[in-house]
Amino acid sequence: MFKKAARWLYASPPRTLLLGFSFIILTGAVLLMLPIASVSREPTSFVDALFTATSATCVTGLVLFDTGSYFSTFGHWVILLLIQIGGIGFMTMATLFALMLRRRISLKERLILQESLNQGSIEGLVRLVRKVIFYALALELAGAVLYTIRFAIDMPLGKAIYHGVFHAISIFNNAGFDLTGTGSSFIGYAEDFYLNAVSMALIVLGGFGFIVLADLFDFRKKRKFSLHTKVVLSVSAALIVVGALVIFIFEFTNSRTIGDEHFAHKALSAFFQSVTTRSGGVATVDVAELRQATQFFMIILMFIGASPGSTGGGIKTTTFAVLVGAVLAMMRGKEDVVLFRLRLAQERVYKAITVTLFCIGIVLAGTMVLATTEDASFLKILFEATSAFGTVGLSMGLTGHLSLAGKLTIIVLMFIGRLGPLTLTYALGPKQGRALYRYAEGKIIIG
């Protein structure tokens, strides 16, 4: 029986990823249950520890307790390690250790890496892993230094370094955990342009994806970008600018958020809230006090999420670009979806539609379950479900009041959102053989 189960788990890369993430989350939960992990030295319940471990590994940022005041230094380092492994990917970390030990990377491991990094082929994967590790550590180090400089103004140098390292890793990996100790995210730094700029830069760079980062770093040598990089950069920029503009307009007169602030502060807050929906998870305003129109618009942005191969979730910016391209092509009576003068294969369009419908179904299912188990408004529940699935971590205040069934639902949504709905389907579904025949073509009326 055990041999049969082992064969099933290792039969495909998606199943190995499923097993790996599950093992890491359970290990993290056990460590966070230990009395030494909390400030009070009281053991945390298994469900609460599992929730926190899932949120950290899936780089979401939804929390049941304030991270800074509830968990001890040991608990902080456990959470930080889970964020790092979950953000970069456990297979990437495993490959790093294998390379350090000068061990050869097998074909099976390359296939798992291909699935983990969402690549189309196994060519150049080991080189990409080296770049992923280098870029991640370099950007985290830069972020830690910049954060430390700012935090050193408010606290002793040792504590400033500690906070700088924690927030750099958390924000770059789009995890959203913070050590402010007030449960208010970055609201206390809402007018601090320096800290806002550093945080937005880390969120955006972490959400671009490592393939895009490699293209950006190699631009001086190659003098050109791939189609993937062009789409990610253009769509990300458009979503951030449009998002900031919409939030700025909707909240301009809202005295509970930015209505009473000066123009520059309003603009800065609007941009930060737009950027953080990319999967950042930290906020400089109270999300629960935003207007309903703003909250619903942020749900849309969270659902789109970050980019493929990044630390963020959602359906991804490239999927959104393909969907928009397909709609425009249909409206113009064209057969091909064209982006930057390059035609996309029909397979890409079908996959984008499939991913989107899968994600809509998962968010709606999670929302219906939460609407049954939780006593809250529908918009608050939809916001929470989308934030969990998109691994964003923003909350309207529902997380801390979840029932047991609600916590388990959010855990499942975070896990599916990080692993990816298609990866989960391939992992749990039966192995499909090659079709030996095709059915005759039929016609139905659309629209």
Flag whether 7 is in a domain: no
What region does 341 belong to: left with phi over 0, alpha with psi -120 to 50, or beta?
Answer: left
| Cα separation values, 227 from 21, 220, 338, 339, 354, Å | 31, 17, 11, 8, 21
Q: What one-letter code names the amino acid at 71? A: F
Flag whether 87 is in a domain: yes
Can you tell me the distance from the alpha carbon of 96 to that of 23, in angstroms, rounded to the nearest whole number? 19
Strand (E) or helix (H) holding 342: strand 342-343
Residue range of the domain that includes 257: 15-118+125-425
Q: For the segment 283-333, what is each residue's pLDDT rounded down to a tens digit? A: 889 999 999 999 999 999 999 988 887 777 888 899 999 999 999 998 888
Residues facing 71 on adjacent strands: 38
Report, as an integer, the average pLDDT of 402-421.
Answer: 90
Between residues 8 and 198, the one the model is more confident about:
198
Flag whether 22 is in a domain: yes
Residues facing 342 on adjacent strands: 339
> Which pLDDT score, from 0 to 100, does residue 136 have?
84
Flag whether 232 is in a domain: yes
Flag whether 270 is in a domain: yes
Q: For the segment 21-68, what is each residue's pLDDT rounded down to a tens digit? A: 888 899 999 999 999 999 999 999 999 999 999 999 988 889 998 888
Considering the chain, what percentage of its residues have pLDDT values greater than 70?
82
What region does 23 belong to: left with phi over 0, alpha with psi -120 to 50, or beta?
Answer: alpha
- Number of domains composing the chain: 1
How many Cα atoms within 13 Å fall on the side-chain side of residue 348? 19
User: What is the reported pTM?
Assistant: 0.88
Can you tell me the distance from the alpha carbon of 298 to that of 110, in angstroms, rounded to the nearest whole number? 37
224 pLDDT more than 80: yes
In the chain, what is the straight-line distance between the N-terminal and C-terminal CA atoms, in Å? 51
Can you tell me the distance from the alpha carbon of 282 to that of 251, in angstroms, rounded to the nearest whole number? 18
> Which pLDDT score, from 0 to 100, does residue 189 have?
87
- State the average pLDDT for the chain: 84
Flag whether 431 is in a domain: no
Flag whether 109 is in a domain: yes
Flag whether 3 is in a domain: no
DSSP string, 126-156: HHHHHHHHHHHHHHHHHHHHHHHHHHTTTS-
Strand pairing report for 338-339 and 342-343:
antiparallel
